[in-house]
Structures are given as structure tokens and as C-alpha cells.
């Protein structure tokens, strides 16, 4: 299907009223609120799901008829498949979308105030990290004798070296690699500002190997491309598929809901054990607050045990 669209043999469907509404919302998020592309995409996905939920069975004749019960029904359905952390994000996006619709006079005023979020507690969900030796085992297990293996190795090495998010890996361009300056430019998906990182010898070698012997010869400027037709940029979900495939082949048991993000957490733990300052780790990971980085201190149990002073033994006869 995607290939037929790319070569012009299959036309794209006409935009529906819901599609146009989501597009207008995205434009507002970009131009008025100045949100990063990845954040806008998350808003668009949830907004589209909400509008799609309202369509079946002629639930509403018009958005003017939208009621709190319709919102509750959507959140109840979403809550059956999502955890509390994800539901908090859904609720926040839905409130923002309803505020936008109200400003556009598409829905009654005040609906956003009725969107409840599940309660969460700071630090209740710890990052899921793999032992650093396991990370190295995973990388060593990747077969780099073929184009796909060279691409997959380079992608996962970038995450393990710099703590990149999967979307940041997928959106890297050829122009983001400054070979002479020995730097790599990463557009941080959450903060929206680029970060210049040193291009290590190991990463440079893996990227050069992929570019010379793995990357298809196409005009696409994205760094990582699909290895099968239709040739083109990979999606962020492909990074997850790559990570889970090689982890399974290596016999590595992954944390539940870990995904390639656990490599990012593993790097943070590795740097913390090396004595790197929290501020340095946070800057590398693109954290906007040091509180986001402090959560790794709770995972560092073994190191805390090593430095903890033993309590003096009670002497006999002392009360």
C-alpha cells in the first residue's frame, strides 16, 4: 500500500472533516504553542482517536452536542488498554484539544475541566534498565555481515552511546553528521532544541560502515532507511522492532514495556556508576529538570550498598 502511494499508483483518500480539524489543531500547536514535532504528533494521534471514537453509530450529530458522558466513555475505553502514566498523557492532550475546539466555537465551553486524570505518585514507576554487560552482549550479537545488520547495529549503538530516544534516531539526517568537526547533531524531540554531541570513534566507524555497505543509494536525506521496497525513511516504531528482534535472538529477557528506551536508562545507570554528575547525565538525556534524572538514584541500590557504612555491632551487656 505504502509503495503504491510512493510511486503514484494509488491516490490518497480525501480528507474528512475530522482530518481537517486535526490538521488545524496541529497547526495551532506548532505556530501558537511552539511544540516540538514529536509532541505535536502525539497530540494528533490522540485527537484523531477521540474524533474517530465519536463517529461510529452516529454518536453525535455535531460536535455542538458533545457532552461530558461522551468524554467519559472515551476515557473509560482507553483506560482498559493503557496504564495510569499513559492515561495521564491522554487526559492532558484531550483537555488541550477540547480547549482548542472551544476557542474555535466547535464545542461547548468548559468541557476540558471535566477531564479527570488518574493519580500518580512521584517515583512510583522506576526506569527499566538492563545491566551494562547485557547491553554490550546485545550489540555484539548483531550480525553485521549484511545491510540490515549494519543499519540495526548503528541505530542501537547510537541509543546506547548517547541515550537517544527512538524518534530521535529515526529522524536523523545525513546533514546531522559533521565528520570533520567530529560532531553529531540531535534534535531533541521533547525540548525542540538541537544538541551537539561528540562523534565517538566507535559510532563514526559503525555509521561509515552502514553508509558504505548498508544504506541504499537513494536521494532520501534521512540517515536510516528501510532495507526493503519501498525505500524510504524508517518510522520510530521500526527502532522498537529492531531492538526487540535482536534482543530475542540474543536470548535477552527484557523488562516489561521496556523497548529500546531501556537502553537509554541503562546508559544513565552506567554513567551514574562511573561517577558522572547528575547534571551531565541529564543534559545528555535531554532532561528539562534534574528531578527527572534523580530517579536513577533509586535504581542504584548495589552502589549504595557498597558505600554504606556498617552499623557498629552491639556489645554484650549493653542495653
Residue ranges of domains in the chain, CATH in brackets: 15-114 (1.10.150.130), 132-304 (1.10.443.10)
Cell for 95?
Answer: 483537555
How many angstroms separate the CA atoms of 90 and 117, rounded? 9
Active site residue: 190, 220, 222, 273, which one?
190
Active site residue: 287, 288, 298, 305, which one?
287
* CA–CA distances in Å: residue 77 to residues 50, 53, 111, 197: 11, 9, 18, 42
Active site residue: 166, 188, 215, 261, which one?
261
The upper half-sphere exposure of residue 247, i.e. CA atoms within 13 Å in the direction of its Cβ, equals: 19
Q: Note if 122 is an active site residue.
A: no
pLDDT band, very low/low/confident/very high, at 221 (cuts 50, 70, 90): very high
Cell for 277?
Answer: 554528575
pLDDT tens digits, residue range 150-200? 999 999 999 999 989 898 999 999 999 999 999 999 987 666 678 899 999
Q: Note if 190 is an active site residue.
A: yes
The pTM assigned to this predicted structure is 0.61
Per-residue burial over 103-136, b if 16 or more Cβ lie within 10 Å, else e, is eeeebeeebbeebeeeeeeeeeeebbbbebebbe
Q: Note if 106 is an active site residue.
A: no
How many angstroms separate the CA atoms of 35 and 194, rounded? 14
- In the prediction, which pLDDT does 224 show? 97
Cα torsion angle, 199, 265, 195, 34, sign: positive
Residue 138 has pLDDT above 80, yes or no: yes
* CA–CA distances in Å: residue 292 to residues 42, 261, 270, 287: 21, 15, 16, 6
Residue 31 has pLDDT above 50, yes or no: yes
Active site residue: 165, 188, 215, 265, which one?
165
- In the prediction, which pLDDT does 17 show? 81
Which of 100-109, 200-209, 283-292, 297-306 is modeled with the greatest confidence? 200-209
296 secondary structure, DSSP code? G
pLDDT tens digits, residue range 200-217? 999 999 999 999 999 998
Amino acid at each position: 500500500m505504502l509503495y503504491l502511494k510512493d510511486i503514484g499508483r494509488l491516490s490518497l483518500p480525501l480528507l474528512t472533516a475530522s482530518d481537517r480539524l486535526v490538521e488545524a489543531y496541529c497547526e495551532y500547536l506548532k505556530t501558537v504553542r511552539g511544540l516540538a514535532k514529536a509532541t505535536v504528533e502525539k497530540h494528533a494521534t490522540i485527537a484523531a482517536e477521540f474524533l474517530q471514537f465519536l463517529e461510529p453509530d452516529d454518536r453525535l450529530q455535531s460536535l455542538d452536542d458533545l457532552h461530558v458522558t461522551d468524554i467519559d466513555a472515551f476515557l473509560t475505553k482507553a483506560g482498559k488498554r493503557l496504564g495510569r502514566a499513559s492515561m495521564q498523557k491522554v487526559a492532558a492532550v484531550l483537555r488541550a484539544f477540547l480547549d482548542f475546539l472551544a476557542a474555535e466555537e466547535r464545542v461547548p465551553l468548559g468541557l476540558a475541566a471535566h477531564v479527570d486524570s488518574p493519580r500518580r505518585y512521584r517515583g512510583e514507576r522506576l526506569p527499566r534498565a538492563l545491566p551494562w554487560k547485557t547491553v554490550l552482549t546485545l550489540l555484539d550479537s548483531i550480525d553485521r555481515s549484511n545491510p540490515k545488520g549494519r543499519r540495526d547495529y548503528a541505530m542501537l549503538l547510537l541509543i546506547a552511546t548517547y541515550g537517544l530516544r527512538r524518534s530521535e534516531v529515526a529522524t536523523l539526517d545525513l546533514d546531522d553528521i559533521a565528520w570533520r568537526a567530529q560532531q553529531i547533531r540531535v534534535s531533541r524531540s521533547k525540548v525542540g532544541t538541537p544538541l551537539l554531541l561528540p562523534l565517538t570513534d566507535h559510532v563514526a566507524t559503525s555509521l561509515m560502515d552502514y553508509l558504505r555497505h548498508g544504506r541504499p543509494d537513494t536521494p532520501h536525506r534521512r540517515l536510516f532507511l528501510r532495507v526493503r521496497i519501498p525505500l524510504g525513511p524508517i518510522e520510530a516504531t521500526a527502532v522498537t522492532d529492531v531492538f526487540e528482534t535482536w534482543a530475542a535472538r540474543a536470548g535477552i529477557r527484557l523488562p516489561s514495556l521496556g523497548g529500546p528506551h531501556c537502553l537509554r536508562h541503562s546508559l544513565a545507570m552506567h554513567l551514574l556508576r562511573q561517577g558522572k554528575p547528575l547534571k551531565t547525565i541529564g543534559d545528555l538525556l535531554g532532561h528539562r529538570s534534574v528531578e527527572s534524572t534523580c530517579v536513577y538514584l533509586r535504581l542504584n541500590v548495589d552502589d549504595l550498598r557498597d558505600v554504606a557504612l556498617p552499623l557498629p555491632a552491639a556489645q554484650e551487656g549493653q542495653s
